[in-house]
Chains A and B, each alone.
Chain A
Amino acid sequence: KQEVTQIPAALSVPEGENLVLNCSFTDSAIYNLQWFRQDPGKGLTSLLLIQSSQREQTSGRLNASLDKSSGRSTLYIAASQPGDSATYLCAPPRGYNKLIFGAGTRLAVHP
C-alpha cells in the first residue's frame, strides 16, 4: 500500500523566496513520480514527471528531485511569484498506473 506525506502542509512566503516542498512515500518500488499543482476549485495541472531512473527534472523555475531508496521527492521553486500560489501535490503510483496523492502543500506567495 502506498502512503504519501507532504510537508509542510501550508506555506506563506513573500515574493522572491526560494522554496522547498517535501514529499515522502512508503512504497519505493515506483516507476516514476509526478508533481501537480491545483488551483482552488480546479483540476490538476501537471508540472514535472521524474522517471525512476532519474534523480531530478527541471522545468523553468521548478526542479524536482527523487530519491527512491529513501522514499523521498522534493520540489524546488526558485524566485517564487504570486502566480505560484496554489496547492502542490506529489503522486507516486501504486502498482503500474494508479496515482496516489498526498494531502498537498498549500502555497501562498504574497507581493
Chain B
Amino acid sequence: GAVVSQHPSWVICKSGTSVKIECRSLDFQATTMFWYRQFPKQSLMLMATSNEGSKATYEQGVEKDKFLINHASLTLSTLTVTSAHPEDSSFYICSARDPGSFGGGGYTFGSGTRLTVV
C-alpha cells in the first residue's frame, strides 16, 4: 500500500510557542487528508479535513485559529499548533485515502507525532 510520512515523530516545545507537523503522501496524490488527535488510552478524534487548494473543514469544538492547517500541494498537509499550551500535549496523526488499498477505499495513516508542551 501507499505510504504517508509524518514528521516529526516527537517534539517538545515551550508553552506559548508554535509547532508545525508535516504529513506527506510519498507515492500518491492526496487531495484530502485528515488530522486526528489521540489522548492517552483514548480513541482517535477527528480534528479536521485538509483540502488541497482550499480551506480546511474543522470538526465541532476544534479551534481553527489554534490548529492551522495548510494543504498547499497534492502531497503535503501541515498542521500548526499555535500558542501551544500543556493541554495541547497529545498524539497527532494524519491520514489519507490510499488509492492502492482495498480498491481505493482504504485509508493509510502516518506514524504520528507526540507533542509535549512544557
A28 at the interface (CB under 8 A from B): no
Q: How many A-B contacts at CB < 8 Å in the complex?
A: 58
- A27-46: CB near B (< 8 Å → 1, else 0) gives 00001101010000111111
B107 CB contacts on chain A under 8 angstroms: 34, 46, 91, 99
A103 CB contacts on chain B under 8 angstroms: 42-43
B106 at the interface (CB under 8 A from A): yes
Query: When the two chains form their complex, are residues A43 and B93 in contact, meaning their CB atoms are under 8 A apart?
Result: yes
B49 CB contacts on chain A under 8 angstroms: 98
B77 at the interface (CB under 8 A from A): no
Within 38-61 of A, Cβ neighbours of B (below 8 Å) are at 41-46, 49, 51
If over half of B's interface residues share one DSSP class (helix, strand or loop), that class is named, otherwise mixed; here it is strand
If over half of A's interface residues share one DSSP class (helix, strand or loop), that class is named, otherwise mixed; here it is strand
B114 at the interface (CB under 8 A from A): yes
A13 at the interface (CB under 8 A from B): no
List the A residue with the shortest CB-CB distance to B36.
A101
B78 at the interface (CB under 8 A from A): no
12 contacts between A and B (CB under 8 A): A31-B105, A43-B112, A44-B44, A45-B109, A46-B101, A46-B108, A49-B101, A49-B106, A97-B97, A99-B46, A99-B107, A103-B43
**Chain B: residues with CB nearer than 8 A to chain A?**
1, 6, 32, 34, 36, 42-46, 49, 91, 93, 95, 97-98, 101-102, 105-112, 114
**Chain A: residues with CB nearer than 8 A to chain B?**
4, 31-32, 34, 36, 41-46, 49, 51, 89, 91, 97-104
